[in-house]
Structure 1
Amino acid sequence: MRGNLRYLIALIVGGFSLITYYCNRQTNPVTGETQHVNMTTEQEIALGLQAAPEMAQQYGGLYPDQEAQNTIDRIGNAIIQGSPAVRSPYKFDFHLLADDQTINAFALPGGQVFVTAGLVKKLSSEGQVAGVLAHEIGHVIERHSAQQLAKSQLTQGLSGAAAIGMYDSNRPGGSIANAAIAAAIAKVVSLRFSREDELEADRVGVDYVADAGYDPRSLLQVMQVLEQSGGGGGGPEFLQTHPNPGNRTQEIQQEIQRRFPNGVPAGLKP
Structure 2
Amino acid sequence: MIKKIGLYIMCAFLLASCSSVPLTGRRQVLLVSDQDVLSSSLSQYQEYIKTAPLSTDAKGKAMVVRVGQKIAAATEQYLKNNGLESEIQNFKWEFNLVKDDQINAFCMPGGKIVVYEGLLKIVGSDDELAVVIGHEVAHAVAKHSNERMSQELLAQYGSSIVSSALGNKSQAVQSLGGTVYGLGAQYGVMLPFSRKHESEADYMGLVFMAMAGYNPDVAVGFWQKMSAAGSGSVPEFMSTHPSDATRIRDIQNHLPEVRQYEKK
Say whether the fold is shared (TM-score over 0.5): yes
| C-alpha contact (below 8 Å) 1:30/1:141 kept by paired residues | no
Q: Deviations over 1:227-261 (max 9, x none)?
A: 0111133x211112x43245121221111112337
In the alignment, what sits opposite 1:75? 67
Alpha-carbon distance change, 20 to 111 in structure 1, aligned in 2, over 3 angstroms: same
What is the deviation of 1:46?
2.3
Mapped pair 1:64 → 2:56: yes
CA distance in 2, matches of 1:65, 1:14: 56
- Residue 125 to residue 151, structure 1, CA distance change in 2 (3 Å): same
Q: Is 1:53 the counterpart of 2:54 in the alignment?
A: no
Helix, strand or coil: the match of 2:194? Answer: helix
| Code of the aligned partner of 1:251 | D
Partner of 1:4: none
Q: TM-score, normalised by structure 1?
A: 0.69
User: Partners of 1:259 and 1:28 in 2: how far apart?
Assistant: 17
Structure 1 residue runs without a partner (length 5+): 1-7, 159-192
Asked whether the equivalents of residues 41 and 110 of structure 1 are also in contact (C-alpha less than 8 Å), the reply is no
Give the total of aligned pairs: 221
Instruction: Give, in whole Å, the separation in 1 of the partners of 2:223 and 2:103.
Output: 12
Separation in structure 1 between the aligned mates of residue 8 and residue 151 of structure 2, nearest angstrom: 14
Higher Rg of the two aligned structures: 1
Normalising by the residue count of structure 2, what TM-score does the alignment of the two structures yield? 0.70
Kindly indicate whether the alpha-carbon contact (under 8 Å) linking 1:48 and 1:112 is maintained by their aligned counterparts in 2.
no
Once residues 19 and 222 of structure 1 are traced to their aligned partners in structure 2, the CA distance between those partners, rounded to angstroms, is 44
Cα 1:146/1:136, change in 2 over 3 Å: same
| Stretches of structure 2 lacking an aligned partner (at least 5 in a row) | 159-192
2:56 match: secondary structure: coil
- Backbone CA RMSD of aligned residues: 3.5
Residue of structure 1 equivalent to 2:251: 252
Distance 1:28 1:40 in 2: 15
Q: Distance in 1 between matches of 2:79 and 2:92?
A: 10
Per-residue deviation, 1:125: 0.9
Q: Which amino acid aligns with 1:98?
A: K
Of 206-215 and 87-96, deviating more is 87-96
Q: Percent identity?
A: 27
In 2 relative to 1, CA 27–224 (structure 1 residues): closer, same or farther, beyond 3 Å? Answer: closer
Question: 1:133: Cα distance to partner?
Answer: 0.3
What is the rounded CA distance, in whole Å, between the counterparts of 2:213 and 2:47 in structure 1? Answer: 34
2:18 match:
25
Q: In structure 1, what is the equivalent of residue 232 of structure 2?
A: 232
How far apart, CA to CA, are the structure 2 residues paired with 1:13 and 1:230? 49
